[in-house]
Amino acid sequence: MAGLPGSLVPSPFRVQRVRRETYDTFTIELEPANGADGFPFAAGQFNMLYVFGVGEVPISISGDPTKRQTLVHTVRAVGTVTQALRRLKRGDVVGVRGPFGTHWPVEEAVGSDVVVVAGGIGLAPLRPALYYLLSNREKYGRIALVYGARTLQDLLYKSELEKWRSHLDLEVEVSVDTAAASWRGNVGVVTTLIPRVQVDPFHTVALVCGPEVMMRFTVRELESRGIEPEDIFISMERNMKCAIGFCGHCQFGSTFICKDGPVFCYAEIQPFFAKREI
Amino acid sequence: MTMETLERMLTEHPFFKGLNKRCLQLLVGCASNVRFNAGEVIFREGEEAGLFFLIRHGKVVVETFAPNRGPIVIQTLRDGDLLGWSWLIEPFRWRFEARAVELTRAIALDGTCLRGKCEEDHELGYELMKRVAHVIEDRLQATRLQLLDVYDSVRS
């Protein structure tokens, strides 16, 4: 098993598969290299992935929490470490510290409707929550996934989205900012889909993840639908380094994203959520 | 279709939610029930904008054409949405093309007829302008977000 939460020592994991999602995003599957028996985590948590000799980055876990033998991360290759991760091949070894941080309140949401709003690569940290919700479908009311991306080429998990669409008990709304005429889905920014979602706003829990500006406008729409700040949960991101609230790089107002987040109840961070320079 | 049925359709459409009966009765004379099959063009860019549409059921795309890119969808409209405001603003020409992507049922309103009634009855005119302004504001905000490119952020 990987280092316990709080550990600064990475555990070795072997690359099983690297799958391209979009032109700059890929999904990497890892298995313990030391014979450890699985990797328990909760939906919404993240790991620190260490490419030896290059560096370490915080990456949300995007796999199924019930499949503990395989650790899945979806990564956008934008920096030195993430680009090095993309170059890894089956059999290569990386270091993993984690899991860290808070998780989506999927158990607390039992009995409620759930609306999942994702923007861009923000679908990756939400996918474990979707797996959980769908594998415990009978415990929830209506479930809706609202997902927006810039173009069709930027959509993650296309085949899975198609599969989810075929679920009669899951409402899936996908929107892109612009598309060719052959696209049969929605065109428009993701927030325009929120008024259409079939949920009871007084008994709904909202899980939101995406770039901060998208989350800000999404929260406004959710509130205008009548969903209370206490029922809105968002996943924040800052420059996380130690992942245990020690170095202070990811301070966000009076909290540290790495240990008090990344998943926050919106009501708790509302006072400083939209403030600049925080 | 009877005037009563059309009036009920107008009452049920979100665009006219809360509009008083007198104004609704004035509108009915300018309204008709229409349907478009999947793939049917509803209006084309540059044509005279004589009508606008309140979508009851279905899906419509607003699109334009760019050389080397072909048709580009700008927006998708669905149940409860308003399609078109060029009927209200000179020179009354459509700026984009609209096409049904699935069977779409809508209420068509005659813009010339409506403009005439609004000139005569300022209460109706003000009610209609408030509603159209709200739609334009929503679309403007959505366009601003699209310009912001809200998904373009580093996050893994």
Give pLDDT, residue A278: 64
- Residue B41: phi and psi, rounded to 5, are -80, 130
Hey, is A143 helix, strand or coil? strand
B7 is a domain residue: yes
Instruction: Give chain B's end-to-end CA distance (angstroms, integer).
Output: 56
CATH number belonging to domain A11-100: 2.40.30.10
B74 is a domain residue: yes
- Say yes or no to pLDDT of B147 above 70: yes
CATH number belonging to domain A113-235: 3.40.50.80
- Say yes or no to pLDDT of A54 above 60: yes
Closest CA relative to residue A193, chosen from A162, A214, A179, A168? A214
Give pLDDT, residue A178: 86
Chain A touched by B133 (CB under 8 Å) = no
Q: Which residue has the higher pLDDT, A258 or A58?
A: A58
Q: Which residues, in sequence order, are CB contacts of B120 under 8 Å at separation 6+?
A: none
Q: What is the pTM of this model?
A: 0.87
The owner of tokens 């940290």 is A125
Cβ <8 Å between B148 and A213: yes
Instruction: Give CA–CA dist A222/A7, Å, rounded.
Output: 37
- Say yes or no to pLDDT of B9 above 60: yes
Q: Which residues, in sequence order, are CB contacts of A113 under 8 Å at separation 6+?
A: A140, A141, A142, A143, A144, A199, A200, A203, A204, A205
The owner of tokens 């006072």 is A271
Chain B CB contacts of A180 below 8 Å: 69-73
B96 is a domain residue: yes
Cα four-point dihedral sign A173, A174, A179, A184: negative
Give span(s): CATH 2.40.30.10, chain A: 11-100
- Say yes or no to pLDDT of A2 above 70: no
The domain containing residue B122 runs over which residues? 3-148
- Say yes or no to pLDDT of A6 above 80: no
As for the ipTM of the complex, it is 0.78
Instruction: Give CA–CA dist B46/A76, Å, rounded.
Output: 42
Cβ <8 Å between A121 and B72: no
Give pLDDT, residue A1: 42
Give pLDDT, residue A271: 81
- Say yes or no to pLDDT of B66 above 90: no
B78: exposed, middle or buried (C-beta count within 10 Å: 0-12, 13-18, 19+)? middle
The owner of tokens 């079939």 is A198
Q: Average model confidence (pLDDT) for chain A? A: 90
Closest CA relative to residue B51, chosen from B59, B61, B42? B42
Residue range A86-121, pLDDT digits in tens = 999 999 999 999 899 999 999 999 999 999 999 999
B156 is a domain residue: no
B135 is a domain residue: yes
Is residue A277 very low, low, confident or very high in pLDDT (cuts 50, 70, 90)? low
Residue range B13-46, pLDDT digits in tens = 999 999 999 999 999 999 999 999 999 999 999 9
Chain B CB contacts of A186 below 8 Å: 76
User: Which pair of structure tokens corresponds to residue A165?
Assistant: 């669409």
B128 is a domain residue: yes
B155 is a domain residue: no
Amino acid at B78: R
Cβ <8 Å between B155 and A76: yes
Chain A touched by B66 (CB under 8 Å) = no
Chain B touched by A216 (CB under 8 Å) = no
Chain A touched by B136 (CB under 8 Å) = no
Total domain count, chain B: 1
- Say yes or no to pLDDT of A19 above 60: yes
Report the percent of chain A where pLDDT is more than 70. Answer: 97
| B50-77 b/e (C-beta count within 10 Å ≥ 16 → b) | bbbbbbbebbbbbbeeeeeeeebbbbbb
Residue range B98-127, pLDDT digits in tens = 999 999 999 999 999 999 999 999 999 999
Strand ranges inside A126-185, DSSP E: 143-149, 171-176, 179-180
The partner residues of A263 in beta bridges, in order of sequence, read A235
Give pLDDT, residue A245: 77
Give span(s): CATH 3.40.50.80, chain A: 113-235
Instruction: Give CA–CA dist B113/B30, Å, rounded.
Output: 6
Give pLDDT, residue A39: 87
Instruction: Give CA–CA dist A60/A48, Å, rounded.
Output: 9
How far out from the chain centre does Cα A110 lie? 20
- Tell me the CATH number at B111: 2.60.120.10
Chain A CB contacts of B75 below 8 Å: 187-188
Give the minimum alpha-carbon distance from A55 to chain B in angstroms, rounded to a whole number: 16
